[in-house]
């Protein structure tokens, strides 16, 4: 969906820009409505952890705004941070023990991540031109960059990891003490 000139619509850009605040709202509603059990926690939390590990791996390779990153998970997936977010969301939805919450989380992720990907693709194309087109076409980039934890921290992934622990603790409390 574009405005006719190849740019994402204002609607998509707004949805993409609201994904974090909307995520907090969806998260609060999800936790309030959750009915986790020991089984749903044992099934869902490891999935959420895998999602966060994918995000950390991606963030440890990413130089935001400086280049088209082609190392680490970017060699195989164009938007590994969003893939990690989707896995993480699926894990949390599973941990809540509620099919209704799973539908809400899937709708939130589907809408916001699709908008973010379309908006980001347009921005990267505008900023990096041919280099981004080559990456999208599957041409291999420079494979030499190694994962660096300090890069993941610089990309603020420690905040997402802290969020994972916080939500896991809240779900644990809901399962065993509420």
pTM, two decimals, is 0.89
Backbone φ and ψ for 62, nearest 5 degrees, come out as -80, 130
On whether residue 72 sits in a domain, the answer given is: yes
pLDDT score of 118 more than 70:
yes
On whether residue 1 sits in a domain, the answer given is: no
Could you tell me if 87 and 51 are in contact, meaning their C-beta atoms sit under 8 angstroms apart? Answer: yes
- Can you tell me the mean pLDDT for 7-23? 81
- Can you tell me the mean pLDDT for 31-45? 96
pLDDT score of 143 more than 70:
no
pLDDT score of 177 more than 80:
yes
d(CA 91, CA 113): 16
Please tell me the predicted confidence (pLDDT) of residue 100. Answer: 94
Could you tell me if 84 and 163 are in contact, meaning their C-beta atoms sit under 8 angstroms apart? Answer: no
On whether residue 47 sits in a domain, the answer given is: yes
Chain centroid, CA 151 distance in Å:
17
What does the mean pLDDT of the chain come to? 91
Among candidate residues 122, 121, 91, 90, the one with its CA nearest the CA of residue 107:
90
Please tell me the predicted confidence (pLDDT) of residue 1. Answer: 44
Which tokens belong to 79? 């938007």
On whether residue 3 sits in a domain, the answer given is: no
Among candidate residues 47, 76, 69, the one with its CA nearest the CA of residue 164:
47
On whether residue 103 sits in a domain, the answer given is: yes
Please tell me the predicted confidence (pLDDT) of residue 19. Answer: 87
- Can you tell me the mean pLDDT for 17-27? 89
Considering its fold, how many domains does the chain have in total? Answer: 1
On whether residue 168 sits in a domain, the answer given is: yes
| pLDDT above 90 coverage of the chain, percent | 75
Q: What is the pLDDT of residues 46-91, one digit of tens each?
A: 999 999 999 999 999 999 888 899 999 999 999 999 999 999 999 9
Backbone φ and ψ for 148, nearest 5 degrees, come out as -135, 125
d(CA 100, CA 102): 5
On whether residue 5 sits in a domain, the answer given is: no
On whether residue 2 sits in a domain, the answer given is: no
Contacts of residue 36, defined as CB under 8 A and 6 or more positions apart, other chains included, come to 44, 95, 96, 97, 171, 172, 174, 175
Domain that holds residue 106: 10-177
């Amino acid at each position: 969906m574009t405005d006719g000139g190849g740019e994402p619509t204002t609607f998509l850009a707004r949805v993409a820009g609201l994904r974090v605040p909307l995520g907090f709202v969806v998260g609060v509603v999800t936790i309030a409505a959750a009915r986790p059990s020991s089984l749903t926690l044992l099934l869902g939390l490891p999935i959420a952890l895998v999602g966060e590990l994918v995000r950390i791996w991606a963030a440890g390779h990413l130089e935001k705004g400086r280049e088209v990153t082609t190392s680490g998970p970017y060699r195989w997936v164009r938007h590994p941070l969003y893939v990690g977010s989707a896995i993480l969301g699926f894990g949390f939805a599973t941990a809540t023990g509620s099919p209704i919450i799973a539908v809400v989380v899937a709708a939130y992720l589907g809408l916001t991540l699709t908008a973010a990907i379309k908006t980001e693709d347009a921005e990267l194309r505008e900023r990096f031109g041919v280099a981004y087109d080559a990456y999208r076409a599957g041409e291999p980039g420079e494979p030499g960059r190694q994962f660096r934890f300090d890069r993941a921290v610089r990309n603020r992934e420690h905040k997402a990891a802290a969020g994972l622990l916080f939500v896991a603790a809240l779900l644990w409390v809901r399962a065993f003490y509420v």
